[in-house]
Amino acid sequence: MKDQLDSLLSEFESALTPLTEQADVLSAKANFLGKKGKVSEIMKSIGGMSPEEKKTIGPLVNATKDKMLSILQDKLNFIEIEKINQKLEKEKIDITLLDDIKSEGGTHGGYHPRTIVQKEIEDVFLSMGFEVLDGPHVEDEFHNFEALNIPADHPARDMQDTFWFHHPSSDVEKKQLLRTHTSTIQIRGMLERKPPFRFIAPGTVFRCERTDASHEMVFNQLEGMMVGKDVSVAHLIYFMKTLLKEIFKKDVKVRLRPGFFPFVEPGFELDINCLICNGKGCSVCKKTGWVELLPCGMVHPNVLRAGNIDPDEWSGFAFGLGLDRLVMMRYGIDDIRYFNNGDLRFYEQFHSF
């Protein structure tokens, strides 16, 4: 009976493999798991068995059924994601057509203020030998938490309210979510290259949070990572100072204080004196005079290990810049919600190119 169940399972897997439509997968499900399906046939045959036989065969049949349901769910999820990817691929917009639109009497678009500042930051880091990386918005639990030294029961998970995709799997590489930070790209970056290396990674992140003048649910961060021989806090501070000097073109008051993030040790919070109120206190800085901008620290040995890097040989720093907040400070924007609200009067102020 065990062999029969094993071959039924392989038959089920082979039947699903070529399918690309959810409807076909569901009809394959009916053939195997439906009332008149192959598994029900086996269940019926158990009826005629002795109580001892039932005791051993029953659990085997149930285990096979569970495996089939889990394979089925994975397949349905896979098809759904493939469909989304295909749609995204088809709906790409050719923004180089802007000039044609203008010559036909249409209005000319321009860069979002965030894009302007992001490009400047990329130029600064490219000139210092950094690469610019990208990563997916839909991530898995492994890259967003586990590999960053944040296991399931760690209280630090509560620091970032997460949008989870419904998925019955307990496998951390299959449980999907909208990334809560760009630190996921630290892991992807490490696994794809050998040290020494340095890269930055700008990107949108998602948190299920209440919004206010300095908090959005969909906002942008810019991750940075450098791994090499003897990389130290001195390197970290040098690069952070250079970044702020290049972006603000003037001395801005900053403060460095200890900060806790499970993926760095030691960890720091670099705050900037609020440039909206000049430190007097406003809704952006929540009356404190300071804006949290640039958490950073030395990469935790467990995180280097998760990236296949030997912490006895290599060290590194990482930072996670709050890009939208930096843009607010740079232009004196007093509410982060302007960024995504679609009011053209806001965007048009930045059409300077």
With binding defined as CB under 6 A, does residue 236 bind ligand FA5?
A: no
With binding defined as CB under 6 A, does residue 216 bind ligand FA5?
A: yes
With binding defined as CB under 6 A, does residue 310 bind ligand FA5?
A: no
With binding defined as CB under 6 A, does residue 207 bind ligand FA5?
A: yes
* Contact criterion met (CB below 8 Å) for 184 and 135: yes
61 vs 269, beta carbon nearer ligand FA5: 269
With binding defined as CB under 6 A, does residue 300 bind ligand FA5?
A: no
| Stretch 261-280: interaction string toward ligand FA5, x if CB under 6 A | x--x--x-------------
With binding defined as CB under 6 A, does residue 209 bind ligand FA5?
A: yes
* Contact criterion met (CB below 8 Å) for 241 and 228: no
149 vs 176, beta carbon nearer ligand FA5: 149
Q: How many residues does the chain have?
A: 353
Q: Which stretch binds ligand FA5 (CB under 6 A): 130-138, 282-290, 321-329, 343-351?
A: 321-329
Among 139, 140, 141, 324, interactor with ligand FA5 by CB under 6 A: 324
Tell me the number of residues near ligand FA5 by CB under 6 A.
Answer: 24
With binding defined as CB under 6 A, does residue 188 bind ligand FA5?
A: no
15 vs 156, beta carbon nearer ligand FA5: 156
Instruction: For residue 317, give Cα distances in angstroms to 141, 177, 200, 322.
Output: 23, 26, 12, 17
With binding defined as CB under 6 A, does residue 61 bind ligand FA5?
A: no
Positive or negative, the Cα torsion across 15, 16, 18, 23?
positive
Q: Which stretch binds ligand FA5 (CB under 6 A): 89-97, 187-195, 211-219, 272-280?
A: 211-219
With binding defined as CB under 6 A, does residue 318 bind ligand FA5?
A: yes
Based on its alpha-carbon atoms, the radius of gyration of the chain, rounded to whole angstroms, reads 26
Neighbours of 25 (CB within 10 A): 18
Q: How many Å apart are CA 353 and CA 291, to the nearest integer? A: 29
Classify 133 in phi/psi space as left (phi over 0), alpha (psi -120 to 50) or beta: beta
With binding defined as CB under 6 A, does residue 146 bind ligand FA5?
A: no
With binding defined as CB under 6 A, does residue 309 bind ligand FA5?
A: no
Q: How many Å apart are CA 239 and CA 216, to the nearest integer? A: 27
Backbone angles phi, psi at 112, to 5 degrees: -70, 145
Classify 199 in phi/psi space as left (phi over 0), alpha (psi -120 to 50) or beta: beta
Q: Which stretch binds ligand FA5 (CB under 6 A): 76-84, 161-169, 230-238, 320-328?
A: 320-328
What does the angle CA 165 – CA 320 – CA 251 come to, to the nearest 5 degrees? Answer: 150
Tokens of 220: 């942008």
CA terminus-to-terminus distance, the chain: 73
With binding defined as CB under 6 A, does residue 293 bind ligand FA5?
A: yes
Among 296, 304, 329, 333, interactor with ligand FA5 by CB under 6 A: 296
Among 74, 122, 246, 292, interactor with ligand FA5 by CB under 6 A: 292
With binding defined as CB under 6 A, does residue 183 bind ligand FA5?
A: yes
With binding defined as CB under 6 A, does residue 215 bind ligand FA5?
A: yes
| Dihedral angle of Cα 315, 319, 320, 326, to the nearest 10 degrees | -170
Backbone angles phi, psi at 166, to 5 degrees: -70, 125
Using CB under 6 A, list all residues that contact ligand FA5: 160, 181, 183, 207, 209, 215-216, 219, 221, 261, 264, 267, 292-293, 295-297, 318-320, 322, 324-325, 336
